[in-house]
Amino acid sequence: MTLTLNVNGQTRSVEADPATPLLYVLRNGLGLSGPKYGCGLGQCGACTVQLDGEAVFSCLTPLAVVGERPVVTVEGLGTGEAPSVLQKAFIYEQAAQCGYCIAGMIMRAQALLDANPSPSDAEIRAHMEPNLCRCGTHMRILRAVRRAAGSKNAETEAVR
Amino acid sequence: MKRSASQLNRRAFLGAGALTVAFAMAPRALAQLPGASGGTAVRPDLPGDLKSTPMLDAWIRIDAKSAITVFTGKAELGQGIKTALIQVAAEELDVDPGTITLVTADTARTPDEGLTAASHSMQDSGTAIMNAAANVRMLLTNAAARTMNVAPETLSTSGDGQIHGAGGKRLSYGEIAASLSLHVEAQPNVPLRDPASYRTIGTSWPRVDIPAKVTGGEAYVQDLRLPGMLHARILRGPSSGTRLKNPPIDAVAKMSGVVKIVQNGAFLAVVAEEEWTAITAMRALQAAPFERTAPPLPQTGVVETLTRLPSRPITVLDAAGGTAVPVRTIKARYTRPWLAHGSIGPSCAVAWFKNGEMTIWSHSQGIFDVRRVAADLLGLDIENVHAIHAEGAGCYGQNGADDVAADAALIAHELEGHPIRLQWMREQEFGWEPLGPGMFVDLEAAMDDQNRIVAWRHDVWSTPHNTRPNTAGGVLAGWEVTPPFKAPEPQPIPMPEGGGDRNSNPLYALPAMNVVYHFVPEMPMRTSAMRSLGGHMNIFAIEQLFDELAASAGIDPLDLRLAHMTDQRARDVMTLAAERFGWSARPRGDGRRGCGMGFAQYKNLEAYCAVMMEVEVERETGDYRVKRAVAAVDCGQAVNPNAVANQIEGAIIQAISWTSREMVTTKPTHLTSFDWGSYPILRFSSVPDAIEVHIVDRPGMPFLGTAEAGQGPAGAALANALAAAIGVRLRDMPLTPVKVKAAIGVI
Ligand code: FES
Ligand code: FES
C-alpha cells in the first residue's frame, strides 16, 4: 500500500507493506545509503536513524509505527560539500576505519546532542553503548562527539 | 557486437587518456599466498610489485589536461590505503594529491597484486607506485628538456604539476604527456625525492574516503544500485556443515514478489524484487529443520580437539648454542579459542550476467581470485568474468566476502540480464564465514644464574590460516552445486610470513631456540586468515613467558626484554613506549591495578610495535577495564601518521576484545554463537579511557606493514597487565571476568 513518510524534512510516499522495517524503505525505496544493515536484530546500531528526535534501530521499526513522525538519516544532517557540525567533527577526528558503523554512530550521537548539547564523557559513552564498531574506532568517535559538543572535556588522546 | 561493462568502462577510460596504449599487464601466475604479489616476477630487479608488472602505464597515466590516474591492485578495506597510495604517488610525481584519481583492484584495469592482506599493501603497491612515479617524473623531465632544448639537470619540479626551467619557462605534465609514451618498463634505481623535502608523505592528509562515509555517500558494495536490480538471499542451515531438510520451496516460490528460487544441488537461493520480500521468503524456507552433513562438532577444548587430529610437525627454528647451565625452567601452555571476524556489515556482492559476460562487485581481499573462482564455478572463460572491488565493512581477514561473491555470481548466472544484490544475514555471517583458528602454544624456557635466557622451546598447534579460494573448490557454493567441486588440500603458509607459526620465532637474541609448528590440516570448524594469523596467539604466549621469567628472576619485564634484544629499532619502540607510558613509575600490582607490556615486530619483517597497558580490576566481580594503553610503532617511513595511529588504535581495541571476551561456541550439530548477543564484542563502556600511539619517525626508510602489527602486542600487554594486577596469570583466552574472579578467589 502507499504510505506517506516524512524523511529528512521532505514528505515522501512509498509503496510498501506496513510491516516492512523502515531500514529497507529508506535504503531501497528512498535510495538513502546512510542507514546500514548490520544485524536486523537491534544489536549493533548500524541502522540507527532519528525518529521524532530519538535514536532508533530502523531495522526493528516497522513502517506502520513510523507514521508521519519525522525521520532523519545521516543524509539529513549535511552533505559531503556542506557537512553538519557533527559530521565535520568526525572528519576532523578522522573517525572512521571501514566506516560501516559510522552513519549509525553519528545518528545516535546527534540524538544525544539534540537533547543535551554538552554531555559529559560518561554520558557520551553510556549513550553510545548500543552501537558496535568492529574496527575499534571508538576513541575517535568519542573525540568527535566531544568536539561537536564543544565539551570542556575535549582532550587529545592520540598523536595527531 | 557484444560489449561488456568492462569493455565499456575501459573504452570510456581509454578514450580519455593521451598516454594510454595497449593493455599494460603482463601474464600472471595463479599461485599466491597472502601478501604475495599476484604475478610472477618478470623483473626481479625492480622494487615492490613492479617486479610482476613493470610497465609504467599499468600504474600511472596522465592525460593531456594533466589529469593523473594511478592504478593499484590493492583494495581499500578501511585501512586507509587509498589515501596513502595517493600520497605516495603525489610525492614522487611531485603534484598536489588532490589532482590524483586512484583506481583500486579491478581485473580489467589494475595490476594483479594478489591479496590485499598481511599488511603488505604499502610494501608491495606503495613501493611500486613510488618508484613508478619517480620513473614518470624522470621521463617527463627528460622530455621537457628535449622540448626546451636544455639539460634535464637544469629543470625542476615544485609540486604544481609542471616542469620548471630557467627564466620562468615551464611545461605542464599534460603538455609533455601528450607526446610521451609511458608504455615502457620501469628502470631500477631511479632517484627518489629527498625525504627532507617531502611535501605530502609524512603528513596526515585527510583520508579521501571519509567524507562520503560520514554523509551517507554511496561508499560500499552494499549501496550499489543498478537498473533492474533484484535482491537475493541465500538459504543454508545454521552453520558450516549443515543443510536445510526439505524447505517448502513450492509454497515460497508462489509468494508475491518472489522472482525465482535458484537451486543447484544443495545450493539454494531466493530472488525477489524487494529486499524485504527476499528476507521474508528466506525466513519461510528456513522454518524447515536442518541436518548435519559433516561430522559432529567436537565438544572438547582447543587442546584436546587439536591434539586428537592428525598433525604435521614443521620445524620453524632449531638453533642450538650457548653453554650456560640453566638454573630455572618455566613451562606453560597458552590457548585461544576459535574466533569470528565479526564484520559489522554482513558480506555482500552484486553480480550481473549480461551477454555472456559476468561482472561481479565484491569486497573480497582477492579480486582476481573472485574472478578465477566465478569462471571455474560457472564454466566461463576467464576473459568473460570481470571482478571489481567495492568496499564493504571491515573484514579483518577472510570473512564471507569470497563466498558471497560466488553465491551472487551463481544466482546472476541463472537470471541473465538482471543485476543481483545478495547480502548475507547476520547469523549467516557468523555461521558460515571461515573462523580464526583455535590454537595453543606450549612454551618452555630456561634461565642461567645470570638471568640470561639459555633455552627456548615453542610448540604451536593450529588448523589452517589460509584456505582462501582461487578455484570453485574453495567456496561454499562450489561444495553445494552438482557435481560439487573438491576443496583443495589446505597448505601451511611457509615462513618467514608463516600461518599458525607467524611470529613464533621470537625476535629476541636467544642462544638456543627450538620452534615447531604442528600443522593440523583437518578443520572441525572451517578456518582461514584472520588479522595477524598466528601472530596474536604466538605473541600472547611469548610475551607472557617473558613476564613469567622476569617475575621468577625478580627483574623488570622491560629490562629482561631489553637485555635480550639487539635490534635497535625494537629497543627504540620499547623505550619510547616506556617513556610515554611512564613505565618506571607505573602503579605496581596491588590486587586491583596493574600494568603490562607486549612487543613484537610483525612477522619479524614488518612494523615494530610495543604496547603498554594499565588495567583496573573490580575484585568483587572480576570485571576489569583497560584504563589506558600506550603504543609505540616504527613502520619505516610513515606515509600518513594519523592513519597509522588509526590502525594501531583499532588493533588495540580489537585485540582487547578478542583476548578478553570472544569465543565461538558450539553444539555437536552447529555453532551457537550466531549474533552479537551470543558473541559479544567490546563496547563503548569497556574501551580504554585513553589510547596513545607514538610513531618513530624514519624518514625515507622502506615501508613496513602496520595494519596487523598491534594485535599480538596488545593481547599480550592485556594478559600481562592483568597478571600484574591480580597476581595470578591467566593463559587461556578469553580472559573473562569469570576467570579473573576465580583466580582472585573469595575476598
Ligand atoms: S542493523 Fe539494526 S541494530 Fe543492527
Ligand atoms: S569503522 Fe569499521 S565498524 Fe566501525
Annotated domain spans of chain A: 2-76, 85-159
Cβ neighbours of A41 in B, within 8 Å:
426, 675-677
Same-domain pairing of B160 and B105 = yes
Task: State the residue range of the domain holding B399.
Answer: 225-293+341-432
A20-76 tens-digit pLDDT:
999 999 999 999 999 999 999 999 999 999 999 999 999 999 999 999 999 999 999
- Are the beta carbons of B340 and B433 closer than 8 angstroms? yes
- Collapse the DSSP code of B456 into the 3-class scheme (helix H, G, I; strand E, B; otherwise coil) and give the result: strand
Nearest-CA distance from B233 to chain A in Å? 14
Closest to A5 (Cα-Cα) out of A72, A59, A55, A68: A68
- Supply the pLDDT for residue B89: 97
Same-domain pairing of B244 and B387 = yes
Residue B386, domain member (yes or no): yes
Preferred mutation among A97, A120, A124, A156 to probe B, highest tally of B CBs within 10 A = A97
- Supply the pLDDT for residue B36: 41
Residue B697, domain member (yes or no): yes
The domain that holds B693 is classified in CATH as 3.30.365.10
- Please provide the average confidence, as pLDDT, over all residues in chain B: 93
B542: which 3 cell numbers?
Answer: 611469548
B410: which 3 cell numbers?
Answer: 551463481
- Supply the pLDDT for residue B324: 81
- For residue A123, what pLDDT band results from cuts at 50, 70 and 90? very high
Same-domain pairing of B734 and B714 = yes
Domain boundary (B189, B215, B241) is at B215
Q: Which residues 6-45 in chain A show a CB within 8 A of chain B?
A: 16-17, 20-21, 24, 27-28, 31-34, 36-41, 43-44
CA distances to B27, B57, B85, B135, B424 from B183, in Å:
16, 5, 21, 12, 42
B474-497: burial string, b at 16+ Cβ within 10 Å, e else: bbbbbbbbeeebebeebebbebeb
- Supply the pLDDT for residue A61: 98
pLDDT beneath 50: ranges in chain B = 1-37
Structural class in CATH, domain A85-159: mainly alpha
pTM over 0.90: yes
Please report, as a single letter, which amino acid is at residue B164.
H
Number of domains comprising chain B: 3
Same-domain pairing of B415 and B267 = yes
Same-domain pairing of B272 and B123 = no
Same-domain pairing of B457 and B407 = no
Q: Do B394 and A97 touch (CB under 8 A)?
A: yes
Residue B314, domain member (yes or no): no
Closest to B413 (Cα-Cα) out of B375, B450, B445: B375
DSSP H or E run through B409: helix B401-414
Domain boundary (B410, B432, B454) is at B432
- Collapse the DSSP code of A88 into the 3-class scheme (helix H, G, I; strand E, B; otherwise coil) and give the result: helix
Residue B320, domain member (yes or no): no
Paired with B292 in beta bridges are B242
> CA–CA separation, A38 vs B425, rounded Å?
8
Residue B326, domain member (yes or no): no
> CA–CA separation, B635 vs B605, rounded Å?
10
DSSP H or E run through B23: none
Assess whether the C-beta atom of A139 lies below 6 angstroms from ligand 2: no
Same-domain pairing of B202 and B239 = no
Same-domain pairing of B198 and B284 = no
Same-domain pairing of B397 and B255 = yes
Same-domain pairing of B182 and B261 = no
B10: which 3 cell numbers?
Answer: 575501459
Same-domain pairing of B448 and B391 = no
Measure CA of the first residue to CA of the last residue in chain B; give whole Å: 81
Structural class in CATH, domain A2-76: alpha beta
- Supply the pLDDT for residue B38: 64
Same-domain pairing of B117 and B247 = no
Ligand 1 centre distance from Cα of residue B236 (Å): 21
Residue B521, domain member (yes or no): yes
Closest to B213 (Cα-Cα) out of B401, B394, B421, B408: B394
- Supply the pLDDT for residue B589: 87
Domain boundary (B187, B215, B243) is at B215
B745: which 3 cell numbers?
Answer: 578467589
Note whether ipTM > 0.90 here. yes
- Collapse the DSSP code of A61 into the 3-class scheme (helix H, G, I; strand E, B; otherwise coil) and give the result: coil
